[in-house]
Amino acid sequence: MSLRRTAAVARRILQQFRHDPRTLGLLFVAPLIILGLFYFLIRGGSGVPAVDVVNLDGGPVGAVLASQLQASTQIEVTVTSPARAESDLANDRTAAYIVLPADLTASATSGGVVAAQVHLEGTQPGLTEPVLAALDQSEATLLGSLGAENSAHLPTIRPSLAYLHGGPGLDTLDYFGGAFIGLVVFFLVFVVTIIAFLRERSQGTLERLMASPLRRADIVAGYMAGFMVVAAVQAVEVALFTLYALHVHNQGNVALVVLVTLLLALVAVNLGIFLSMFATTEFQAVQFIPLAIVPQVLLSGIVFPVSTEPGWLQGLSNVLPLTYGVDGLRDVMLKGLGLGSSSVLLDLGVVAAFAVALVLAATATLRQRAS
Amino acid sequence: MSAAGPAVRVEELVKSFGALRALDGASLQVGTGEIYGLLGPNGAGKTTLIRALVGLVAADRGTIEVLGRRLPDHAVLAEIGYMPQSAALYADLTVEENVEFFAAIHDQGGAAARPRVTEALELVDLLARRRSVVATLSGGMRQRVSLACALVHRPRLLLLDEPTVGVDPQLRAELWQRFTEMSAQGVTLIVSSHVMDEAERCQRLGLLRFGRLLAEGTAAELRRLAGVERLEDAFLALSEPSR
């Protein structure tokens, strides 16, 4: 091995970086953006799960437990009526509601069973865990104070859990499976499209197409149609594999799962075409993955619930197509909702609107970039 | 120039890319059915001029008329065949699939296009290799596929940017024979080239330098103008920056 030749290769690599400030920028800026997002999602979240507490107990124990829950930093508690709590949960305004039963004080002081009823929304484990942890902590504090007063008759704490969607029979894959279907298809279709369209430009065929009777819209629509054929097969394959080979829980219509996935693929195709306009090499195209895909994975609610993000990040999440795709897939697969649901219609509509907007953007920039 | 009127009329064309002025008031006329050669050193503006004729470059100033239509005019592109300098092809498709595709985007797809695809492949002597994947072909063969793609829809105007780079002399002679036949049938050809024996075959030549047309005429006229025997010497003499 020759040190001089090795140094020549290394020097040439550094020279190439010097001529490509965009790649350098990405190497040094993208990690800060991604790690910064993790920071805000994990530590910076001012948002914690919203939880209603219904205190049916007229005695002091219910009042103490409710105030301890309100003091918890892991959840944001509103004390309300049973009807309001049920409505909030059904309409995704809360992650759970906790009912403190009428006999709570009597049971607690007589050393009986303290059975707070926890009604969980259930589709996002990330929201369920802090609710249960907050209740656990509050009950432990309660036990401590009761024990100080009367150690002979300590109550047994046994909360009962009820799930609006999902349930204890579901595992982690059941919760994330729907989101993963959308993510896998979105990511792969995006990568294939951006590279394919860039190749069209780098090999000179795009210029040739622009010198033919093809119009910009013909090219974009042709790409869309061609890739959608493959994406459709992929969406069906991924959905069927997930549901029937991996046995991921699905309460909804399989066709609707495929439809949401297809719409996400449509967005991915057009996002790929659009972003390829801003890359001149395949190397630069791949750089769009950490910038366009990773933030969407972090902010679309796949792992970190959007409702627990800091307010400004929620604003960002709400303008990302994957957020609506993931929400739609969860609505269908975990909640069993269909086209009659306004939430599903909103998700489908927003994803479709993103697809249309990106078609227009890709078409508009095509001419400019070709010349 | 043909009596049928100009197929291409360019007047005072100016195009800059940043500080670089690629075309600086170039003007020329090419008659219908004429073979017009664009000569000039590298960077003279030949490719920019050809790209402007198919609307790929929007001029800063000046006018372009192609086949009687003033650019920009999308409809006229259906009657133009454009072969760029690099063989812009789909390397993962076969020779035939490439040519069929370019026929199809000129609204000549399906079974009706078969004879035209065959004819174009025969012209470039690649019928026997029609099932070969383009990525496996040599550079010269790719140039020939590219040429077939440019003429499969039987255009009225053929713009060829250095069409015979890498093509062997025998096939080059055959191609020029076909160009001459096409010209006789009324097809107008504008060909940029560095190869002097090709330039000799053009009916008229335009010498471009610094984005301007320095001289124009038949090969014999250019030789006479430069006062030299060979076209290559005329090219060198007329391209002198001092002129």
pLDDT at position A369: 47
DSSP string, A300-323: TTSSS-GGGS-HHHHHHHTT-HHH
pLDDT at position A153: 66
A219 and A366 assigned to the same domain: yes
Task: Flag whether residue B91 sits within 8 Å of chain A, measured between CB atoms.
Answer: yes
Are residues B34 and B1 in contact, defined by beta-carbon separation less than 8 angstroms?
Answer: yes
Mean pLDDT, chain B, whole residue set: 89
pLDDT at position A370: 44
pLDDT at position A170: 80
Distance CA A175, CA A242 (A): 12
Residue A136 belongs to domain with CATH number: 3.40.1710.10
Are residues B234 and B228 in contact, defined by beta-carbon separation less than 8 angstroms?
Answer: yes
Q: Which of A205, A211, A215 is opposite residue B89, by nearest beta carbon?
A: A205
Q: Which of B58, B77, B86 is opposite residue A212, by nearest beta carbon?
A: B77
Tokens 């150690």 identify what position?
A151
Residue A148 has pLDDT above 80, yes or no: no
Q: Give the H or E element holding residue B105.
A: none
- Residue B56 tokens, joined: 């790929």
Q: Which residues from chain B sit within 8 angstroms of residue A371, using beta carbons?
A: 56-58
**A5 in any annotated domain:** no
pLDDT in tens, A59-106: 888 888 888 888 888 888 999 999 999 999 988 889 899 998 888 888
A148 and A207 assigned to the same domain: no
Q: CA A182, A187, A193: angle at the middle one, nearest 5?
A: 125
The band of B32, judged by pLDDT with boundaries at 50, 70 and 90, is very high
When mean pLDDT is compared across A35-49, B69-83, B99-113, the lowest value belongs to A35-49
A135 and A205 assigned to the same domain: no
> Which residue, A163, A181, A213, sits at the end of a domain?
A163
DSSP string, A252-280: S-HHHHHHHHHHHHHHHHHHHHHHHTT-S
Sequence-ordered list of residues with C-beta below 8 angstroms from that of B115, at least 6 positions apart, any chain: none
A192 and A337 assigned to the same domain: yes
Q: Do B102 and A212 touch (CB under 8 A)?
A: yes
Distance CA B36, CA B30 (A): 7
Task: Flag whether residue A29 sits within 8 Å of chain B, measured between CB atoms.
Answer: no
Q: What is the ipTM of this complex?
A: 0.90
* Nearest residue of B to residue A207, measured between CA atoms: B56
Distance CA A322, CA A182 (A): 8
Q: Do A204 and B88 touch (CB under 8 A)?
A: yes
Mean pLDDT value of segment A253-264: 93
**A86 in any annotated domain:** yes
A340 and A284 assigned to the same domain: yes
A86 and A146 assigned to the same domain: yes
A157 and A226 assigned to the same domain: no
pLDDT in tens, A261-318: 999 999 999 999 888 888 888 778 888 888 888 888 999 988 888 887 888 888 999 9
Give the length of chain B: 243
Cis peptide before A31 (omega within 30 of 0): no
**A37 in any annotated domain:** no
Which domains, from first to last, does chain B contain?
6-239 (3.40.50.300)
pLDDT in tens, A334-356: 889 999 999 999 999 999 999 99
pLDDT in tens, B176-229: 888 999 999 999 999 998 778 788 889 999 999 889 998 899 999 989 988 888
Mean pLDDT value of segment B111-117: 87
- Map residue B173 onto helix, strand or coil: helix
- Residue A162 tokens, joined: 């009820």
Residue A154 has pLDDT above 80, yes or no: no
A221 and A311 assigned to the same domain: yes
A252 and A342 assigned to the same domain: yes
pTM of the entire structure? 0.80
Mean pLDDT value of segment B142-165: 92
Q: Do B82 and A208 touch (CB under 8 A)?
A: yes
**A17 in any annotated domain:** no
> Which residue, A112, A141, A163, sits at the end of a domain?
A163
DSSP bridge partners of B60: none
pLDDT at position B2: 47
Mean pLDDT, chain A, whole residue set: 86
Q: Which of B51, B82, B105 is opposite residue A214, by nearest beta carbon?
A: B105
**A2 in any annotated domain:** no
Q: Which residues from chain B sit within 8 angstroms of residue A209, using beta carbons?
A: 105
A231 and A279 assigned to the same domain: yes
- CB–CB contacts below 8 A, A to B: 49
> Which residue, A95, A129, A163, sits at the end of a domain?
A163
Could you tell me where the DSSP H helices lie in A110-171? 125-149
Q: Do B56 and A371 touch (CB under 8 A)?
A: yes
pLDDT in tens, B34-90: 999 999 888 889 999 999 999 999 999 999 999 999 988 999 999 999 999 888 999
Q: Which of B57, B78, B88 is opposite residue A208, by nearest beta carbon?
A: B88
pLDDT at position A30: 82
A83 burial type by CB count under 10 A (0-12 exposed, 13-18 middle, 19+ buried)? exposed
**A94 in any annotated domain:** yes
A223 and A103 assigned to the same domain: no
pLDDT at position A150: 61
The band of B242, judged by pLDDT with boundaries at 50, 70 and 90, is low
Distance CA B82, CA A356 (A): 32
Residue B12 has pLDDT above 70, yes or no: yes
Domain that holds residue A366: 171-370
Residue B108 has pLDDT above 90, yes or no: no
Residue A178 has pLDDT above 80, yes or no: yes
**A273 in any annotated domain:** yes
Classify the C-alpha dihedral A330-A332-A336-A339 as positive or negative: positive
A287 and A364 assigned to the same domain: yes
- Residue A56 tokens, joined: 């049916």
pLDDT in tens, A90-146: 888 898 999 988 888 888 777 777 788 899 988 877 788 888 888 888 888 877 777
Q: Do B57 and A371 touch (CB under 8 A)?
A: yes
Q: Do A213 and B77 touch (CB under 8 A)?
A: yes
Nearest Cα residue to A335 out of A135, A103, A155, A175 = A175
**A18 in any annotated domain:** no
**How many domains does one find in chain A?**
2
Mean pLDDT value of segment B3-31: 89
Residue A54 has pLDDT above 90, yes or no: yes
